[in-house]
Amino acid sequence: MPSFRRVVQGLALTTIFTMSAGSPVPPQADSANLGHCGGRPRPTVTITTTVTSGLPVATGGPSDPSDPVDPTGTTTATSASSTSASSTSAAPTGAAPALPTTGVAPELLGPDFPLLHVAIGRGVQNYTCAGAGSNSTAVGAVATLFDATELAFTDLDAVHAAVLAVIKKPQDGIPVNNNVQLQKLGDHFFDQNGVPTFNLGPEGKIFYAAKTGGAKAPANADKGPLGTGAVDWLQMKPKVPYSSETVGIGEVYRVETAGGVAPPCTEAGPISVQYAAEYWFFA
Ligand SMILES: *[C@@H]1O[C@H](CO)[C@@H](O)[C@H](O)[C@H]1NC(C)=O
Ligand SMILES: *[C@@H]1O[C@H](CO)[C@@H](O)[C@H](O)[C@H]1NC(C)=O
């Protein structure tokens, strides 16, 4: 791991930089990889939504999502798995929520598949600077994905609120709803070839992304702890051809972003910028 000379942390972000969150700004080169049409075979996917907890089980606390985020876990994985014990495998019922829009044209094109998951990603966007005054270059992202699927079916506003709350917390914070932590759904990172990857390991699903669309975040989006701005909303499709195969996921959108934009370069070296976002998975 490269020595991390310049960790940009915001405000109260005093905690350790655990390997946890981040999201992809796919390398520009990827955008041309996938046409929009063409016989994309629909992945054969069993939609077993494993929503474990995350639901507003009455816990007695106030339902202020900006309050609770667990500051105790040393790693996201352990704290995520050790908290809520309840577990159901029932898929959400009722009409699926609609993918959010920015409110400003041009919007991202809508999904081609039914909704599989809504996740909250929490982590960092990484950049490098060649030197003071240069433009930063996006080099990757790392994020933990938390399952907000069932919550999205019942109270989408609560999902948005959880994003705005968790970006204000340390990087290892876990999104909550009504004081109940959302369960870990998977990991987002860039693979050894620099390809944005979404690994929903417990479900055996993995997505290697190519950016197929982008839209500016709304003007009122949360600018993150550094006040630098919210990264673009993205549409991503499976990267093809690619040596690693996407399994079980047809499209991924990054929406409702908060933070993640690089500050101006003041010296040569890496920069990590805190961010949170919703990732919508379709299959
Ligand atoms: C940074 O990017 C902007 C916009 O693309 C460009 O106009 C400017 O020349 C770049 N600056 C440097 C130092 O490369
Ligand atoms: C991003 O930066 C973090 C440190 O904040 C580091 O642990 C991680 O390896 C970096 N990942 C990528 C893909 O650049």
Question: Mind listing the pLDDT tens digit for each residue in 236-278?
Answer: 999 999 999 999 999 999 999 999 999 999 999 999 999 999 9
CA of 138 to the centre of ligand 1 (A): 14
DSSP conformational letter for 247: B
- Structural domain range at position 190: 115-282
Whether 160 is in a domain gets the answer yes
DSSP conformational letter for 30: G
Question: Mind listing the pLDDT tens digit for each residue in 114-123?
Answer: 999 999 999 9
Whether 107 is in a domain gets the answer no
Whether 176 is in a domain gets the answer yes
**Based on C-alpha coordinates, what's the Rg of the chain?**
18
Whether this prediction's pTM lies above 0.85 is answered by no
**Can you give the pLDDT at residue 90?**
55
- 18 C-beta closer than 6 A to ligand 1: no
Whether 184 is in a domain gets the answer yes
**Can you give the pLDDT at residue 65?**
35
CA of 215 to the centre of ligand 1 (A): 20
Whether 200 is in a domain gets the answer yes
Can you tell me the mean pLDDT for 69-84?
Answer: 36
> Considering Cα of 157, then 163, then 169, then 174, what sign does the dihedral take?
positive
**Nearest CA-CA partner of 226 in 81, 11, 3:** 11
What percent of the chain is modeled with pLDDT above 70? 68
Question: Mind listing the pLDDT tens digit for each residue in 126-185?
Answer: 999 999 999 999 999 999 999 999 999 999 999 999 999 999 999 899 999 999 999 999
- 69 C-beta closer than 6 A to ligand 2: no
Q: Is 50 exceeded by the pLDDT of residue 24?
A: no
Looking at all shown ligands, the one closest to residue 189's CA atom is 2
Q: Determine the Cα–Cα distance for residues 47 and 107; give it in Å rounded to an integer.
A: 27
CA of 266 to the centre of ligand 1 (A): 14
- 142 C-beta closer than 6 A to ligand 2: yes
Whether 1 is in a domain gets the answer no
47 vs 266 pLDDT, higher one: 266
β-bridge partners, 235 = 213, 253
Whether 213 is in a domain gets the answer yes
Can you tell me the mean pLDDT for 49-64?
Answer: 34
- 134 C-beta closer than 6 A to ligand 1: yes
- 17 C-beta closer than 6 A to ligand 2: yes
- 139 C-beta closer than 6 A to ligand 2: yes
With a CB cutoff of 8 Å and minimum separation 6, the contacts of 3 are none
Domain count, the chain: 1
Band (pLDDT 50/70/90 cuts) for residue 37 is: very low
CA of 134 to the centre of ligand 1 (A): 7
Can you tell me the mean pLDDT for 208-214?
Answer: 98
CA dihedral 83, 122, 3, 243 (to 10 degrees): 100
- 178 C-beta closer than 6 A to ligand 2: no
Q: Is 50 exceeded by the pLDDT of residue 46?
A: no
Over 60-113, what HEC string results?
CCCCCCCCCCCCCCCCHHHHHHHCCCCCCCCCCCCCCCCCCCCCCCCCCCCCCC
**Can you give the pLDDT at residue 94?**
85
- 137 C-beta closer than 6 A to ligand 1: no
**Can you give the pLDDT at residue 202?**
86
Band (pLDDT 50/70/90 cuts) for residue 219 is: very high
Question: Is there a contact between 234 and 109 (Cβ–Cβ < 8 Å)?
Answer: no
Whether 273 is in a domain gets the answer yes
What percent of the chain is modeled with pLDDT above 90? 65
CA of 198 to the centre of ligand 2 (A): 15
Q: Determine the Cα–Cα distance for residues 18 and 21; give it in Å rounded to an integer.
A: 8
DSSP conformational letter for 248: S
Band (pLDDT 50/70/90 cuts) for residue 190 is: very high
